[in-house]
Structure 1
Amino acid sequence: MVLDKPLYTTNYGAAYVGDSLELLDQLESNSIDLVMTSPPFALQREKSYGNVEQEAYVNWLFAFCEKVYRILAPHGSFVIDLGGAYQSKRPVRSLYNYRILIKLCDQLDFRLAEEFFWYNPSKLPSPIEWVNKRKIRVKDSVNTIWWLSKTDNPKANVSNVLVPYSERMKKLLANPEKYYKAKERPSGHDIGTAFATNNGGAIPSNLLQISNSESSSRYIQLCKAVNTPAHPARFPQKLPLFFINFLTEPTDTVLDIFAGSNTTGAAAESLQRRWIVFEQNLSYLSASAFRFVNANESIEQISILFEKLLARKETINITR
């Protein structure tokens, strides 16, 4: 890799300030195992972190994805989180997140390995006009997540993301003769005796229920302490944790091209994966370093670190 000097590094990763369109060109082809990102959504109103008008959004995002295709390893995965949106001044949904999916598969030969849906039960009702005022639409609390790949068989291991068994399944495993009989079901499925085997957990569904209600984390507290705004559109760390566990191994490299507060890097660091992130907003990326500092660092030390990052005179190494 021939990337320029990073803003900061950690035990496993490096954070770079700059435009992803330019930084992606500096990465070697077929070098990244997982690209996990959540780009600015095509919303009706302009946000502080920067977003693009709906009409131009698909072409804008496609330009980044073209470069992602080049740097993604043949066995790698591209996971992209896209929130839904309404068309301007109409109670009609935008199709932008589906249009970008079709364009990526038709024009870049990405494969849709599987679609996921992130259900955020703590999401506030929106848009206010149609949900709260006129009461003609329900709360939008699901994001579409496209798991894309360059081949039909990207690296994946569902055993790494098993979920706890239901209480009913626990009873079945404890006493299979009482609760279970091997036979063909009305649906035509032939359920054999192996169904009652304890595999350490259940296979998760493609509906991921993860609350996004971070309000008192150390990252938020430290942003307040140094008087800098926290990134307003953070996804919960459990989201990238799921996909990093599912789609990578410890020696792999994870990339986020719209890092924001660097939740992806923090998740990768906790799983001992190498990571690279790109973010063009210096203040947001500087504050993202708070996710990696020692718990015993004083506010004075944090403030000094933040000022050094904003100055960009040297790469700061942050290790615990």
Structure 2
Amino acid sequence: EVIWGDAGEVRSFQDRWAGGISHYIDWLKERVEEMHRILKPTGSIFLHCDWHANAYIRVLILDKIFGEDNFNSEIIWERSFGTGSSKGGAKKIPVNVDSILYYNKNKNGYIFNLQTRPLNEGAMKRYDKVDADGRRFFWADMRTYSQERLNELLEKGEAKISPNAKNPRYKKYLDKNKGTPIDTLWNDFDFIGNNERIGYPTQKPEALLERIIKMASNEGDTVLDPFAGGGTTIAVADRLNRRWLGVDQSVQAIKVTEFRLQKQTDLFTAPYTVQLHKYDYDTLRYKDAFEFESWIIAQCGGTPQNKKGGDKGTDGKAADG
């Protein structure tokens, strides 16, 4: 754990988790249980981790809380920058990938919007013909179309039957091709540019969070980031017209997130609030026992930000954990 901006908050994994991986898993499991509780049936969770804990998190936390049947994918994010888990060595293979574990609340009803990559140069070359309207296309085999559909395309001049071809062929237009579907290897994100970089040690590229948010939510849905860090998820969710809620235990992290939001604010930006909670020992020590119980359960080790009013976080997605 490295928290940015305050030397007093910088602690190593070993110092923070004196009991080893089992203490870390116990700590995280309680928080994932709450994320699962407030997630809508249409929602999903994306939990980012590296090789130190990904197997433990999947088997001991996510499979147990969300259920094995609701496991969707393990996304492999190949980092081209930032904090590698290992520098390698004579007897060590360098590690430059992290896992993003993707689970759905309900495997039969979750939101999923297919994301695509632009066609590569080789695929573009296939569209080597141009019709009278200036649209690029190539002749593709027509194997699964019905006879009715074939007749319709023949009448439009968008299909043909060649004597030497096994199957009829039709015009496959470039402008109807949405691109190559995204698979589970994500290695197409560039370095974080100077206009995006804020100096946060574990900062993620905005393009990474944009893909996740677009894939698992629609405009107006709520994105929850319970470990907001440098605020990438919040900034991207705001830009994509999602409601959002961000939480972090570091006041400095909240201030950085607020600054990022201010930089992209315009006349059409919806209002948001920043809530910083501070408590003293005596206030908590002498609080009514039931009030204290409610308070301590409500704390996820964090400092909430709430956006666009409404109920907090009951609406949607948990992202960038």
Query: TM above 0.5, one fold?
Result: yes
Pairwise CA RMSD: 3.8
Q: Deviation at 1:174?
A: 3.6
Alignment equivalent of 1:256, drawn from 201, 204, 225: 225
Aligned counterpart for 2:124 among listed residues 150, 160, 170: 170
| Cα 1:105–1:182 shift into 2, 3 Å | same
Deviation at 1:205, TM superposition (A): 1.5
Q: Distance in 2 between matches of 1:276 and 1:316?
A: 6
How far is 1:310 from its partner? 8.2
- 2:299 is matched with which residue? none
How many angstroms does 1:183 deviate by?
Answer: 7.4
Unaligned runs of 5+ in 1: 1-38, 86-95, 185-190, 221-229, 297-307
In the alignment, structure 1 residue 149 sits paired with structure 2 residue 104 = yes
Could you say what secondary structure the match of 1:233 adopts? coil
Provide closer, same or farther for how the CA distance between residues 47 and 288 of structure 1 changes in structure 2, counting only shifts above 3 A.
same
Q: Which residue of 1 aligns with 2:254?
A: 285
Distance 1:316 1:112 in 2: 29
Match of 2:94 in 1: 139
AA matched with 2:178 = G
Equivalence for 1:245: 214
Q: TM-score, normalised by structure 2?
A: 0.61
1:69 aligns with 2:36: yes
- Deviation of the 1:199 alpha carbon: 2.3
Bigger Rg, structure 1 or 2: 2
SS in structure 2 of the partner of residue 165 of structure 1: coil
Moved more, 55-64 or 237-246: 55-64
Partner amino acid for 2:127? L
Residues in 2 aligned to 1:126 and 1:120: alpha-carbon distance in whole angstroms: 10
Asked if the contact 1:109–1:150 (Cα under 8 Å) also holds between the matched residues in 2, the reply is yes
Report the 3-state secondary structure (helix = DSSP H, G, I; strand = E; otherwise coil) of the residue aligned with 1:75: coil
Of residues 257-266 and 282-291 in structure 1, the stretch that sits farther from structure 2 once superposed is 282-291
Deviations 1:86-109 (A, max 9, x none): xxxxxxxxxx21121122344223
Q: Could you list the per-position Cα deviations for residues 266-305 of structure 1 after superposition, in whole angstroms to 9, with x for gaps in the alignment? A: 0101111111100111012112222122479xxxxxxxxx
Query: Could you tell me which residue of structure 2 aligns to residue 116 of structure 1?
Result: 75
After superposition, what is the alpha-carbon deviation per residue over 1:10-49, rounded to whole angstroms, capped at 9, x for unaligned? xxxxxxxxxxxxxxxxxxxxxxxxxxxxx989xxxx9827
Q: What is the total number of aligned residue pairs between the two structures?
A: 232
Counterpart amino acid of 2:29?
F
Kept in 1, the 8 Å contact 2:225–2:245? The answer is: yes
CA distance in 2, matches of 1:295, 1:272: 13
Q: Once structures 1 and 2 are overlaid, which stretch shifts more, 106-115 or 62-71?
A: 106-115
Tell me the equivalent position of 1:13.
Answer: none
Q: Is 2:75–2:186's contact at 8 Å kept on the other side of the alignment?
A: yes
| Structure 2: gaps (5+ residues) | 130-136, 145-166, 266-273, 279-303, 309-321
Which protein has greater RCO, CA pairs closer than 8 Å, 6+ apart? 1
Letter in 2 for 1:72: L
Tell me the secondary structure at the aligned position of residue 122 of structure 1: coil
**1:225-281 deviation per Cα after TM superposition (whole angstroms, max 9, x unaligned):** xxxxx4322111111110111111111000000001111000101111111100111
**CA 106–192 in structure 1, closer or farther in 2 if over 3 Å, else same:** farther
Q: How do 1:162-311 residues align onto structure 2 when only pairs under 5 Å count?
A: 162-175=116-129, 181=141, 196=172, 198-211=176-189, 213-214=191-192, 216-217=194-195, 220=198, 230-294=199-263
- In 2, are the aligned partners of 1:253 and 1:276 still within 8 Å (CA)? yes
Q: 1:115, CA displacement in angstroms?
A: 1.5
C-alpha change, 1:316 and 1:241, in structure 2 (3 Å) is closer
TM-score normalised by length of structure 1:
0.61
Within the candidate set 100, 103, 110, 2:57 is matched to 100
